[in-house]
Amino acid sequence: MTIALDPSDTTPDTVPAPEPEEGFWVPEAAEPGKTPAPTPVDDAGEADGSGEAEEADPADHDPVVVRDARDFGVYARTGGWAFALKVARSVRPGGQAAEGAAARKVSARAFAALAGCSAERVMRHYKAWDMAADDGLVPQFEVLEPGADIELPDADVWLSYYTSRNSASSVRGQAISAAAEAEGIRPTKALEVAENPTALRAAILADPGTAEAARGALLDRMKEDPALQTEMARAFARTDDLKKAVASEAKVADRIGYVRQIVENGQIKTPAGQTVEAPAEVRAEAERHLSLIDELDDSEEAGEWAGEAYESVKGLVAKAVEEDPALRVQERRTRFYSSLQKATKVFEELTLDEVMEEEIYEEDMLQRLEALQEAIGSCITALRRAAPTAS
């Protein structure tokens, strides 16, 4: 589209005029034959470098440049290609040679003073045009003369190049912008959310969809952020309800894992802790239950399904152990060794030095040890009887 503004009309048809805002310059009616002077204003929270808008006399500059600067000032908060064009064809940043058509152009600071806004805002439009020019979307600055009109890109492309936030230039802002682009959204949207954490909190508290998106983002972030992992774990451990929920979900995950490893590895773990090949019946039952669990929607609770699968498969495992004589003997041997190791460890932890102290003595202690001694003696006798006879 071609943007051509009549000097007497500062409202282009292609861009609606915004309502006046606090701190926003609106031209006042001027006396006949007298050009109204703009009141220098700045963006909220912005500084143009000196803290004050530069005083500029319109008579010192090309009338076409002055008109563009004033149009820019009126619509500074609106942005858009029409206003970037005014900057691109009228501004000559410092260090650029003032030759040919460029001699008619002014500095960003002078343009901002004429527009009644900040030099930073002018330069953001300038940089947006520069990036678009590098992409071949618009002409380079050098071929543009003050007052020149060209075909402009569609309006919806503008936000891909322009950012209205100073935070976008910071390291944090650049990281947020890059992440937004990777997600296929406008960087300005992500920057706006980052600058309003209270609004983000309100949305999470009020809207399940936002809360779900936040949950997913936190989980992804924790994979790369050990410190956040620790903070989240600590927060859960210190909250009783959350701690119980975590324990419950951990139990569900363990049961599903028990069934899944039978399907994927073809092995079972017996009650005594042996790992052996899974019988065909056990594996088929595990596959059946696992397929039902995997088909559950994210909104469905897996706890009941996991419990049923675990108990069913566990029962078949116990049955398989009892029906296999060799496996049954090995299971009992393993269980006996496990109990013997636990008893040995407990007895070794007894501090015999404490027994020598009279204050420690209780009649019940002696009775329990004597009973234990008798049980151990009986066990030793039974094992000796069961020992193979030497040939």
Q: Which token pair is 279?
A: 């019988």
Q: Are 10 and 95 members of one domain?
A: yes
Q: Are 134 and 8 members of one domain?
A: yes
Q: Which of 276, 306, 326 is the last residue of a domain?
A: 326
Residue 133 lies in a domain: yes
Q: Using the predicted structure, report yes or no on whether residue 313 has a pLDDT greater than 70.
A: yes
> Residue 120 sits in which domain range?
1-162
Query: Average pLDDT of the chain?
Result: 77
Q: Which of 266, 292, 326 is the last residue of a domain?
A: 326
CB 66 within 8 A of CB 125: no
Q: Using the predicted structure, report yes or no on whether residue 360 has a pLDDT greater than 80.
A: no
pLDDT for the residue 89: 92
What percent of the chain has pLDDT above 90?
A: 9
Q: Using the predicted structure, report yes or no on whether residue 41 has a pLDDT greater than 60.
A: no
Query: Phi, psi (5° rounding) for residue 31?
Result: -70, 150
pLDDT for the residue 114: 93
Task: Tell me how far CA of residue 241 lies from CA of 205, 211, 219, 231, 250, in angstroms.
Answer: 18, 19, 20, 17, 14
Alpha carbons 388 and 330: distance in angstroms, whole number: 17
CA angle 125, 131, 134 (to 5 degrees): 140
pLDDT for the residue 85: 92
CA 270 and chain centroid, separation: 42
Query: Phi, psi (5° rounding) for residue 206?
Result: -95, -25
Residue 353 lies in a domain: no
Residue 339 lies in a domain: no
| Average pLDDT for 340-361 | 75
Q: Are 256 and 317 members of one domain?
A: yes
pLDDT digits (tens, 9 = 90+) for 59-86: 888 989 988 888 776 555 444 888 899 9
Residue 226 lies in a domain: yes
Q: Are 144 and 7 members of one domain?
A: yes
Q: Using the predicted structure, report yes or no on whether residue 13 has a pLDDT greater than 60.
A: no
pLDDT digits (tens, 9 = 90+) for 136-194: 999 998 888 898 888 888 877 787 777 655 555 566 777 877 787 788 777 767 777 77
Residue 196 lies in a domain: yes
Q: Which of 104, 132, 162 is the last residue of a domain?
A: 162
pLDDT for the residue 387: 82
What single letter denotes the amino acid at residue 284? A
What percent of the chain has pLDDT above 70?
A: 76
Q: How many domains does the chain have?
A: 3
Residue 333 lies in a domain: no
Alpha carbons 109 and 91: distance in angstroms, whole number: 9
DSSP letters spanning 181-222: HHHTS-HHHHHHHHT-HHHHHHHHHH-HHHHHHHHHHHHHHH
Task: Tell me how far CA of residue 157 lies from CA of 4, 22, 124, 161, 183, in angstroms.
Answer: 20, 28, 15, 7, 17
Block residue for tokens 């989240």:
232
pLDDT digits (tens, 9 = 90+) for 220-245: 889 888 899 999 999 988 999 889 98
pLDDT for the residue 4: 42
Q: How confident is the model at residue 207 (pLDDT cuts 50, 70, 90)?
A: very high
